[in-house]
Amino acid sequence: MITFTYAVKDSDGTLEQLLRDDWKAGKKNIHELRMANAVTEAEGVPAVWRTPLIAGTELTFHLPEAHSEYEPLEVPGVKILQEDAHFIAVFKPAGIAVHPDGTSRESTMMNAVMAHIQEQGGTYAEHIQRLDKGTSGIVIVAKHPMAKAMFDRMIASNEITRLYNAEVEGRLKRLKGSVNMPIGRDRHHPTRRRVSMSGQTAVTHFKVIERKEDTTLIEATLDTGRTHQIRVHMAHLGHPVVGDNLYEASALPDGSYRLTAVETSFIHPFTGEKVVISTL
């Protein structure tokens, strides 16, 4: 059983309104909670769904047991940055994948997260974001299935903002700009993407932070989350990410490339508070 508590804020809304309108928890989740009497007040008394809640009332949510299949392993470089009852913000180093792909035996970020979850007595963790194996930075992980559903909805509606830092080849002339070019698969390469008029809409905004002798440091934000988006768009401008030889940059000796998700922000789906996680 997965449980968490919530203190009702300054609202005279009902439990049903809280779940439906404020949390946008989804009809299926709401129905299952209601049928199972899975929301209780003090001393385990089932909550009343259509009576206005009193501010300060503490609700306890009892979710069915859920399991994730990641093997718990220690993975160097993976760090927990922030955590509550609903999510974990994890720093993923470059060079490891977010999750196993079924073909590689290499340890991944989710193996390390599952080790952390099991130390707390938990059995469930699922990532709601991905980063390319060579990209370092912040990844959000849900700690229970309802949180996963709610964060997935936020991702789909672009309610989670990510800030990236990158070093690109050459000296960008513009101080800031946007690239609005669709991205699709490169039919000549199994993993590469390319700007393609038949691809998916992709919008990247960038701002110059520093110009070096042969490279430029930029900040980038995305309106969309396409595979390799920043890498493809910057290469399309003629300024590939330093070290990204998949997109025609010169390879670095260690095989890495210079792209990091340095900040993530969102309105917490359960508390309504602004959450900012940063490595800056």
Contact criterion met (CB below 8 Å) for 228 and 132: yes
Catalytic, out of 132, 152, 214, 223:
132
152 as an active site residue: the answer is: no
C-alpha distances out from residue 6 to 35, 109, 110, 266, Å = 20, 29, 27, 19
Residue numbers annotated as active site: 132
